[in-house]
Copies of this chain bind each other. A is one copy, B any other.
């Protein structure tokens, strides 16, 4: 068994540097690497390029990194819900590249799986297709999209073992498994870290080979973005 466990979030982030490109798992505030984001927000590093589906809210999730002015460029798909992000965007402090969500997911997966490029129909006829190469297959037009290239993937799982195997929970899975192994270094924080052999090998969502470092996260807030109930 190849041992991936580290004790602290600082150990987990060793080697990270200003100016790097980071992938961050999560959809809105669901399934985000809370401990890693907090540590980055408090670190001295900055000028990150971030790849993530969304931008969090003002005081949580990726919002903490925008609040701490750590991000200079953002690849995302839906960037509403965060006023500080909007302010920085309007003032020109940050640059944003918007990517259709399915394309974003597949660009992460392509990086993980060693596929340099693929074709997708999303964005044909729109400004997303500008400067993209187009090609017809079976009478339909597709865009050529390439794999992301990044330095660190920061993901959050429900359970993990010391071999780096991960199991996600519910819709907190989202982009997390796709970012594992899609960067030079992948760091996973988990709610519950168990010894190797305790997870059923048949139920593992992400094999440990895609994870370089794993640690037990602390004090999960798991904030709900839109609390909706049957009888509000």
Contacts and interface: CB of A to CB of B under 8 A. Distances in A.
Interface of A: 106, 110, 113-121, 135, 137-138, 140, 142, 146, 167-170, 201-203
A118 B170 CA distance: 30
A116 B119 CA distance: 6
A138 B116 contact: yes
Contacts of A135: 117
A108 to B, nearest CB: 14
Contacts of A202: 167-170
A107 to B, nearest CB: 12
Main secondary structure of the interface of A (DSSP, over half): mixed
B119 A137 contact: no
- Nearest first, the 5 closest Cβ-Cβ pairs linking A and B are A116-B137, A118-B118, A117-B119, A116-B119, A115-B118
A146 B169 CA distance: 33
27 contacts: A106-B113, A106-B115, A110-B118, A114-B120, A114-B121, A115-B118, A115-B119, A115-B120, A116-B119, A116-B137, A116-B138, A116-B140, A116-B142, A117-B118, A117-B119, A117-B135, A117-B137, A117-B142, A118-B118, A118-B119, A137-B146, A167-B202, A168-B202, A169-B202, A170-B201, A170-B202, A203-B203
Nearest to A121: B114
A121 B110 CA distance: 13
A201 to B, nearest CB: 8
Contacts of A117: 118-119, 135, 137, 142
